[in-house]
Amino acid sequence: MISVNVNGKEESIDVPPETPLLWVVRDSLGLTGSKFGCGAGLCGACTVHVNGEAVRSCVTPVKDVVGRKVTTIEGLSPDNGHPVQKAWIAHDVPQCGYCQSGMIMAVSALLAKKPNPTDRDIDASITNLCRCATYHRIREATHTAAKTKSVGGRKA
Amino acid sequence: MKTPTRYSASRRRFLAGLAGLAGGATGLIIPLRLSFAQQASGAGAAALAQVTPWIRIGPDESVVLYMSQAEMGQGIRTGLAQVLADELEADWNRIRLENAPVAAPYQITIRGFSGQFTAASSSMTLLYEPLRNAGAGAREMLTEAAARAWQVPAAECVARNGFISHKASRRKLSYGTLAAAASTLPIPGNPKLKSRGEFRYIGKPLRRLDTPSKTNGSAMFGIDVRVPDMLHAAIRHCPVFGGKITGYNEQVVKAMPGVRAVVPTQDALIVVAENYWQARAATQALALNVDPGPAGAMASDSLWTALRAGLDTGTPLVARADGDAAQALSGAARTIEAEYRVPYLAHATIEPVNCTADVRSDGCTIWAPTQGPARVKATLANMLKLPPETIKVNVTYVGGGFGRKGQPDFVIEAVLASKAVGRPVKLIWSREEDMRQDFYRPGFVGRYRAGLDASGNLAAVSARIAAQSLLAQLNPRWLRKDRLDETTVEGTSDVPYAIPNFLVEGVNVEGPVRLGWLRSIGHGPNAFMVESFMDEVAHAAGSDPYQFRRVLLKNDKRALAVLDAAAKAARWGRKMPPGRALGIAYHTYVGRAEIYHTRSAQVAEVSVAADGKLRVHSIYAAVDCGTVVNPRLVEAQVQGSIGWGLSAVLKGKITFADGQVQQSNFHDYPLLMLAEMPKIHVKLVDGGGPPAGMGEGTVPPTAPAVANAIFAATGRRLRSSPLLDFDLKSA
């Protein structure tokens, strides 16, 4: 049995320790907000936070997060209230939406580290793939969220 | 103006419906507001009145709009809801969307092919008028219901935002109150539609209805479906086209943790296990023995050789013949000739194909991100030998479609797995399988020749394009009698340029690659070729590429307006620093069976550094797509199409060796990244007319606009894609 802390809750999971965190989160815990896109850490659809850092969960064995705090998209806020989520809604960012959980987790992790990222910072940090090419709205919404946070918006 | 006698509803039924309004005229008191439990159960269902097949209204004022089309990012569900809700005069805040079942009222038809499908960018074009009629009809039924309750003429009643009111007597009734009575009335055959000035939702930039659920992880895609008692499955197909799996590591795999069964299909092995990770691990241990079959030696080189040979030795089928191009070319003052090619492409939806199936002895339920639920239903009924009404198809959100998810193959596989194990099974393809077992966009080669007269005017164009025939594989009934495949030549054969002598021929070349509909079909490849060629001709004639096209579009005012708008937005002709330039392209996207015309022009602004690094800075796009139901959604489609098209032209290619696809994941089939996304300026040009498709309409011009800009910046003419395959380092 492996003990993991996901979205503030201690969970006991009966899986081999090499099982990717993505499948633990999706199948063992039923949190399907984090998505499977490539299984190789290339697309970012599986991005979650581990101790606040953006991590691609499809290539992270669950044993590597024992003793750490895992946050999935479901744990970011109970009500779409996170500044990044609010910005996402204000800009109508998603199209098909499949990559967006991972995007939001990547962007929120970036903003926690760099509250006022430049376009260069965003280019370098946000390497998640979006097939619908919503990238321009992702960029705009990231700047909007940065402004919100800097004037006292809810912390990540 | 309608009088009550036009309606031939059963008086008793109508009075029963009115009982709640009139205080029990029949002696029955029907509660106006049922509890949720009563609504959910069949007993209360009558109160959530099915006013028309598209609209149900509840006593709690909720307005359920049925959605027959799949939402795959194009925003169609929000758009169609706007159309229904506007004519209905519903309160937008009360709207709820539900999947329509696969049933007759929701069918659309393209060239004799009827069904429920989300494809060919046809949804809004084909449903705009039907949904306006459905909404308006329901509005009239609700109005009539109120008129009868009040005993006043319907003409004196006004529908507005979920209420019918009668000004003279200052009375008002809500849709929720009226819906039961309204649903007993016959649906008007010819309701009065709103005039354009009366629209409250159509034409407005309303926000997408699905944004919140796609922002908090709650939106359910096919891959997210969970049903009780469900097992999980992974799959390995025979990696060689047309080959066979002859053996595998059966004892080892069946003994692996969690494995419940290995289900063979015609060309694959499906491993069913307790969870996906176990199924996946087991598929990796299969150690397939493969009989490669006839295509075992196929490779990209041999394919391209065959395609090029097709230009010379294949049977050219005439798609267009204006004037006498051969003669005009032989007499031309100057001829220009060029050959182009575009590669095979994969769909690469970020959500890989998947399906959850629950097969029972007396029926089958599936959940899938499918673009073709009617085809799925018919296929499964036939396959399982069950009556169609026992097949239930649940359409989920689609994490990218682009045509791939209209194929029923992955549904059939899940069904076979469920049938074999007697439990629900969720089958998920790995990225590797999704990449290597796709239904590919075929590769094209095109040879173009142009003749200029002594004054430098374009006198003749002759084009011959060769490709594997898509229609021969997918829909042979749509081949012309002589087997001309329209998808091979579309985008060249239908250019709106005034070319006095114009010959376009298509050649079908046999090939082993499995083909599929991929966003922009033949238009994407042809636009790259013909618009690059037009650019070459313009330069050869010493003409400005924008002005050259202006002259050729003189007979098409709508095309001209779009071309001019793009050039204006880009400030065409402005001075640019060395290594930086503009390129222009125009395209009319003639929809399948000519159901619409979408006109778009794009100007690409690129720079090429001394070290060869290419940057696409901006795309200036102008588009005329007729009536715009939601400008916000249309703009997003333009921007998304351009970004999608840039992935294709800059990076996309599928290659083959030993009869297999060589690419397997995003490291060798890369996509455009955020850092590479240009600024996109969109100008919507109002040409009037019905809504034209926007799923694909603005994909074609991007590739040639970029290639033309690279030429303008460097003098290098790139005649194939992906463009990043070329070293653009200055000599």
Q: Which of A76, A32, A38 is nearest to A54 (CA)?
A: A76
Query: What is the pLDDT, as a whole number, of residue B730?
Result: 85
Q: What amino acid occupies position B719?
A: R
Who's near B147: CB < 8 A, 6+ residues apart?
B4, B153, B154, B156, B157, B166
Site from A76, A95, A118, A123 to mutate, B interface, most B CB atoms within 10 angstroms: A95
Question: DSSP for B434-474?
Answer: HHHS--BBPPEEEEEEEEE-TTS-EEEEEEEEEE--HHHHH
Mutation test of the interface with chain B: which of A60, A86, A96, A129, choosing the one with the most B Cβ atoms within 10 A? A96
Q: Two tokens at B69? A: 């089309």
Query: Are A135 and B674 within 8 A, CB to CB?
Result: yes
Q: How far is A104 from chain B (nearest CA, A)?
A: 8
> Do the Cβ atoms of A124 and B397 come within 8 Å?
no
pLDDT of residue B34: 31
Rounded to an integer, the average pLDDT of B673-688 is 97
Mark yes or no for CB contact A16/B224 under 8 Å. no
On whether any CB of chain A is under 8 Å from the CB of B572, the answer is: no
**What is the per-residue pLDDT for B78?**
98
From the list B350, B632, B679, the residue facing A129 with the nearest CB is: B350
Q: What are phi and psi of B157, to 5 degrees?
A: -100, 145
Other C-beta atoms closer than 10 Å to the C-beta of B299 total 16
Query: Which residue in A76, A92, A110 has the most chain B C-beta atoms within 10 A of its own C-beta, making it the best mutation to test that interface?
Result: A92
Q: Which two tokens stand for residue B521?
A: 């079909």
* CB pair distance less than 8 Å for A93 and B232: no
Report which of A115, A118, A97 is spatially closest to residue B209, judged by C-alpha positions.
A97
Alpha-carbon gap, residue A131 to A141, rounded angstroms: 18
Beta-carbon separation of B216 and A135 below 8 A: no
Sheet containing B231-237, strands listed edge to edge, beginning at the edge strand earlier in sequence:
B259-264, B268-273, B231-237, B425-428, B354-360, B363-368, B391-395
Residues of chain B in contact with residue A72, where contact means CB-CB under 8 angstroms, are 217
Do A138 and B674 count as a contact with CB atoms less than 8 A apart?
Answer: yes
Q: Which residue of B has its CA nearest to A23?
A: B277
Residue among A26, A97, A99 whose CB faces B210 most closely: A97
SS3 B152: coil
Taking alpha carbons only, the member of B678, B647, B644 closest to residue B74 is B644
The pLDDT, as a whole number, for residue A150 is 61
Task: Outline where DSSP puts E strands in B347-402.
Answer: 354-360, 363-368, 391-395
Single-letter code of the amino acid located at B386:
L
Mean pLDDT score, B373-402: 98
Q: Is A100–B214 a contact, with Cβ atoms under 8 angstroms apart?
A: yes
Give the torsion through C-alpha atoms of B271, B274, B280, B281, to 10 deg: -100
Q: A-contacting residues of B 152-211, CB under 8 Å?
A: 207-208, 210-211
* Number of neighbouring beta carbons within 10 Å of residue A17: 11
B716/chain A closest Cα distance in angstroms? 28
**Distance of alpha carbon A22 from alpha carbon A57, whole angstroms:** 5
Q: What is the DSSP letter of B16?
A: H
Residue type, B225: V
pLDDT of residue B48: 76
* Nearest Cα residue in chain B from A20: B277
pLDDT at B2 over 50: no
Question: In percent, how much of chain B has pLDDT > 90?
Answer: 93
| B199 Cβ contact partners less than 8 Å away, ≥ 6 residues apart | B86
Mean pLDDT across the stretch B703-727? Answer: 98
Q: Average of pLDDT values for B88-99?
A: 97
Secondary structure letter of residue B162 according to DSSP? T
B471: pLDDT strictly greater than 80: yes
pLDDT confidence tier of residue B233, bands split at 50, 70 and 90: very high
Task: Determine whether the interchain pair B275/A27 forms a contact, defined as Cβ–Cβ distance below 8 Å.
Answer: yes
How many CB pairs below 8 Å do chains A and B form together? 179
Looking at B60-169, which runs of residues are DSSP E strands? 63-67, 95-99, 108-110, 113-115, 157-160, 163-166
- In a mutational test of the B interface, the residue from A71, A132, A137 whose CB has the highest number of chain B CBs within 10 Å is A132
Q: What is the structure's pLDDT at B8?
A: 34
**If you average pLDDT over residues B671-688, what whole number do you get?**
97
Determine, for residues A135 and B672 on separate chains, whether the beta-carbon distance falls below 8 Å: yes
Average of per-residue pLDDT across B635-660: 98
ipTM value, please give it. 0.97
Task: Kindly state the average pLDDT of the residues A139-154.
Answer: 80
Q: Which of B83-92, B289-298, B530-539 shows the lowest mean pLDDT across its residues?
A: B289-298
Residue B583: enclosing H or E segment and its boundaries?
A: strand B580-590
CA distances from B511 to B171, B429, B515, B648 (A): 71, 25, 10, 22
Q: pTM above the 0.90 mark?
A: yes
Residue of chain A with shortest Cα separation from B205:
A92
Give the model's pLDDT for residue B435: 98
Q: Is A35–B644 a contact, with Cβ atoms under 8 angstroms apart?
A: no
| Cα–Cα distance, B422 to B361 (Å, whole number) | 9
> Does residue B26 have a pLDDT over 60?
no
Say how far apart CA B530 and CA B7 lie, in whole Å. 57
pLDDT at B9: 38
**pLDDT at residue B32 tops 50:** no
DSSP-derived secondary structure for B256-293:
STTEEEEEE-SSEEEEEESSHHHHHHHHHT---EEE-G
Q: Which residues of A touch B208 (CB under 8 A)?
A: 92, 94
Pick the range with the lowest mean pLDDT from B17-21, B295-299, B696-700.
Answer: B17-21
Q: For strand B614-624 and strand B679-684, is the pairing parallel, antiparallel, or unpaired?
A: parallel
Mean pLDDT score of chain B, rounded to an integer?
A: 93
Angle at A122 between CA A120 and CA A124, to 5 degrees: 70
Chain B residue numbers with beta carbons less than 8 Å from the beta carbon of A129 are: 350, 666, 671, 673
Please, which residues have CB within 8 angstroms of residue B540's CB and are 6 or more apart in sequence?
B334, B336, B450, B452
| pLDDT-derived band at A115, boundaries 50, 70, 90 | very high
Closest residue of chain B to A135, computed from CA coordinates: B674
Q: Please, which pLDDT band fits residue A148 given cuts at 50, 70 and 90?
A: confident
Residue A36: closest CA among chain B residues belongs to which residue? B351
* Interchain CB contact of B615 with A (< 8 Å): no
Say how far apart CA A128 and CA A142 lie, in whole Å. 14
Contact A98 B400 (CB under 8 A): yes
For the cut 60, the answer to whether the pLDDT of residue B38 exceeds it is no
Distance in angstroms (rounded) separating the CA atoms of residues A94 and B74: 10
Q: Which of A39-48, B32-41, B221-230, B702-711 has the lowest mean pLDDT?
A: B32-41
Confidence of residue A152 (pLDDT cuts 50, 70, 90): very low
B228 — phi, psi (to 5°)?
Answer: -60, 145
B561 touches chain A (CB under 8 A): no
Residue of B353, B663, B674, B694 to mutate, testing the A interface (most A Cβ within 10 Å of its Cβ): B674
Q: How far apart are CA A96 and CA B51, in angstroms?
A: 30
Q: What is the DSSP letter of B647?
A: I
pLDDT digits (tens, 9 = 90+) for B111-142: 999 999 999 999 999 999 999 999 999 999 99
Cβ distance of A39 and B216 shorter than 8 Å: no
The residue written with tokens 């970020």 in the block is B350
Q: Is the pLDDT of residue B28 over 60?
A: no
CB atoms within 10 A of CB B389: 12
B212 chain-A contacts, CB cut-off 8 A: 80, 89
Q: Which residue has the higher pLDDT, A47 or B16?
A: A47
- Are B351 and A37 within 8 A, CB to CB? yes
Question: How far apart are the C-alpha atoms of B586 and B549, rounded to whole Å?
Answer: 8
CB contact under 8 A, B215 and A88: yes
Mean pLDDT of B193-216: 98
pLDDT bucket at A156, cuts 50 / 70 / 90: very low
With a CB cutoff of 8 Å and minimum separation 6, the contacts of B616 are B604, B605, B606, B646, B650, B676, B678, B706
Among candidates B215, B642, B665 on the partner chain, residue whose Cβ is nearest the Cβ of A42? B665
Above 80 in pLDDT, residue B83? yes
* Paired tokens of B654: 């599928």
Q: What angle do CA A63, A65, A68 make, to 5 degrees?
A: 145
B195: Cβ–Cβ under 8 A, 6 or more apart, which residues? none
Residues of A in contact with B211 (CB under 8 A): 88-89, 92-94
For residues B131-159, give the mean pLDDT: 97
In the prediction, which pLDDT does A70 show?
Answer: 98
Backbone angles phi and psi of B701, in degrees to 5: -70, -15
Q: What's the mean pLDDT in B309-327?
A: 97
Taking residues B574-584, report their average pLDDT. Answer: 97
Interface membership of B54 toward A (CB under 8 Å): no
Q: Work out the widest C-alpha separation in chain B, in whole angstroms.
A: 94
pLDDT of residue B47: 60
